């Protein structure tokens, strides 16, 4: 029996348990650094399967690792399980209908993402024993990918120091290998302080923090023209100073997410935006402070690993969907605007052609930081109707359907096959490491989280990344 068939059979044998696991995490819908139940559920599952589990890994309450085997190579499979704020949605319907207004939802499919990794490592564990292969398979339970930079904090804690290769995936609307340079980013908060006063009787005595925020907003929008093409500058006024226009606002806050092709560009953007903040404070007679609490690095592709993962995908084919699944996907697509539809198909039934280093994707992920530390590859599988935009109620609605389940299990098979081949073919690990070293030659890693900044605590709405 071929290795691909063995991996597929092992995952299919536990199909229902993996589906139940994913659906439970969908129900929990826990946001960044609050994923206590999701984290423990995955950790318990792997512990019961014979893995050695390290809870609160790196001092992060909702992070863990689960290892099986001994020695090298150490192959890591990354999992995520955080949801998004304000995306509560009933499952399996083609209309917007929140379960709880203001509640949370899995608008990026991380309930699927974390579970597929569990499926992969459990299958690999069995094959390591059967094939009598040396090495360690390790699952990384990674919290707070949505704006919380969980993997960056895990890296800072040294959790990836002995890892040789990292493998991951993301739920998507198509099937293929991601070989794009996703961009770096920083999230920066600016807090202005002024002086309150009666806006009618004594406005001359007031110093408006809101004026400073508005001036900063205007000035940063003028800055856009003078940034390089692949940058992005997003902002939100998170505190407008209150609800009383007859009071001069003595405090106000604005948050920026600054993206660029690498951390050097992002750092330059932060410096320029901070100068604008200084100018805004000078113009309004206010003061300000600023802080960076999140950030991620650009993603580094790795050709040898990606070619291996592409070969695994080609051996396994793509998820197959039935007429009922096609019908539901068509109903979901009817909720899209014309601009959101790129074609007429309801579900992807094809594997995208592989193209190494195929450009920039203007989204960010903390997988990027892992890719600076170790050779990393990731795939996508069809879990949702074609063209479904991420971070929407439509993703949440589809997250427990048979479409999503098929894509999730298929991703587990692709990652599992890729991982077991690395144990069997150590020369590919050596090639991946050589390619990684060549790519990073002369490029120092710049951690996007400044020294002294701790893990964000409390419920903070993450930026869409």
pTM: 0.95
- Kindly indicate the confidence band of residue 455, based on its pLDDT and cuts at 50, 70 and 90: confident
What are the start and end residues of each CATH 3.40.630.10 domain in the chain? 3-182+298-440
- Nearest residue to 305 (alpha-carbon basis) of 392, 202, 432, 181: 432
Residue 72, pLDDT > 70, answer yes
Give domain 184-295's CATH number out of 3.30.70.360, 2.40.30.170, 3.40.50.720, 3.60.90.10: 3.30.70.360
Residues 377-405 pLDDT 10s: 999 999 999 999 999 999 999 999 999 99
- The rounded distance, in Å, linking the Cα atoms of 349 and 320 is 7
pLDDT at 460: 52
Mean pLDDT value across residues 28-51: 98
**What is the pLDDT at residue 147?**
87
The whole-number average pLDDT for the span 177-189 is 96
* Percent of the chain whose pLDDT exceeds 70: 98
**Confidence label for 461 from pLDDT (cuts 50, 70 and 90):** low
* Residue ranges matching CATH 3.30.70.360 in the chain: 184-295
Instruction: Assign 240 a pLDDT band (cuts: 50, 70, 90).
Output: very high
99, 104, 129, 220, 415 from 155: Cα distances, Å? 36, 28, 29, 32, 22
**339 contact partners, CB below 8 Å, separation of at least 6:** none
Question: What distances in angstroms separate CA 81 from CA 106, 110, 159, 389, 432, one per listed residue?
Answer: 9, 5, 18, 19, 28
Query: Residue 160's pLDDT is what?
Result: 98
Q: What is the DSSP letter of 287?
A: E
The yes-or-no verdict on residue 462 having pLDDT over 80 is no
Q: Quick one: which of 412, 361, 414, 370 has its CA closest to 390?
A: 361
| pLDDT tens digits, one per residue of 313-372 | 999 999 999 999 999 999 999 999 988 888 889 999 999 999 999 999 999 999 999 999
Edge-first strand order for the sheet with 165-172 is 52-55, 64-70, 135-142, 74-80, 165-172, 376-382, 176-178
Average pLDDT, whole number, for the chain?
A: 96
**Picking from 233-247, 426-440, 447-461, which range would have the lowest pLDDT averaged per residue?**
447-461
DSSP state of 154: H
pLDDT confidence band for 457 (50 / 70 / 90):
low
- Rounded mean pLDDT of 225-239? 96
User: For the chain, how many residues are written?
Assistant: 465
pLDDT at residue 464, as a whole number: 46
pLDDT at residue 454, rounded to an integer: 85
Q: Is the pLDDT of residue 5 over 50?
A: yes
**Domain 3-182+298-440: CATH class, spelled out:** alpha beta
């Amino acid at each position: 029996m071929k290795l691909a068939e063995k991996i597929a059979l092992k995952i299919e044998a536990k199909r229902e348990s993996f589906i139940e696991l994913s659906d439970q995490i969908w129900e929990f819908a826990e946001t960044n650094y609050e994923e206590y139940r999701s984290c423990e559920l995955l950790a318990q599952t792997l512990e019961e399967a014979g893995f050695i589990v390290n809870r609160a890994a790196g001092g992060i309450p909702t992070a863990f690792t689960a290892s099986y085997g001994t020695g090298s190579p150490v192959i890591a499979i990354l999992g995520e399980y955080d949801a998004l704020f304000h995306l509560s949605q009933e499952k399996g319907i083609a209309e917007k209908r929140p379960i709880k207004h203001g509640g949370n939802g899995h608008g990026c499919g991380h309930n699927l993402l974390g579970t597929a990794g569990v499926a992969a490592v459990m299958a690999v564990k069995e094959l390591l024993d059967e094939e009598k292969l040396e090495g360690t398979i390790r699952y990384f339970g990674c919290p707070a990918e949505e704006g919380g930079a969980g993997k960056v904090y895990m890296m800072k804690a040294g959790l990836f120091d002995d890892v040789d290769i990292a493998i991951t995936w993301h739920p998507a609307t198509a099937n293929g290998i991601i070989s794009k340079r996703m961009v770096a980013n920083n999230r920066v908060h600016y807090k202005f302080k002024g002086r309150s006063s009666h806006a009618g009787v004594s406005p001359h005595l007031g110093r408006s923090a809101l004026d400073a925020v508005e001036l900063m907003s205007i000035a940063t929008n003028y800055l856009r023209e003078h940034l390089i093409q692949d940058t992005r500058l997003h902002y939100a006024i998170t505190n407008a100073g209150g609800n009383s226009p007859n009071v001069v606002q003595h405090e106000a806050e604005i948050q920026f997410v600054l993206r660029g092709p690498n951390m050097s560009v992002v750092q330059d953007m932060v410096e320029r935006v901070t100068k604008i903040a200084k100018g805004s404070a000078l113009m309004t007679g206010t003061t300000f402070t600023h802080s960076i609490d999140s950030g991620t690095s650009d993603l580094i592709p790795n050709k040898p690993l990606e070619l291996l993962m592409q070969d695994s995908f080609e051996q396994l084919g793509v998820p197959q969907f039935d007429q009922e699944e096609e019908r539901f996907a068509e109903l979901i697509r009817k909720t899209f605007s014309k601009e959101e539809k790129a074609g007429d198909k309801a579900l992807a039934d094809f594997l995208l052609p592989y193209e190494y280093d195929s450009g920039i994707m203007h989204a960010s992920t903390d997988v990027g930081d892992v890719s600076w530390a170790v050779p990393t590859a990731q795939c996508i599988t069809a879990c949702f109707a074609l063209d479904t935009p991420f971070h929407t109620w439509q993703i949440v609605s589809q997250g427990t359907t048979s479409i999503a389940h098929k894509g999730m299990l298929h991703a587990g098979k692709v990652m599992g096959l890729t991982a077991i081949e690395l144990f069997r073919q150590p020369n590919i690990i050596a090639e991946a490491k050589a390619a990684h070293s060549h790519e990073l030659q002369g490029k120092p890693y710049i951690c996007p989280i400044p020294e002294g900044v701790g893990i964000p605590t409390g419920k903070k709405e993450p930026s869409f990344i």
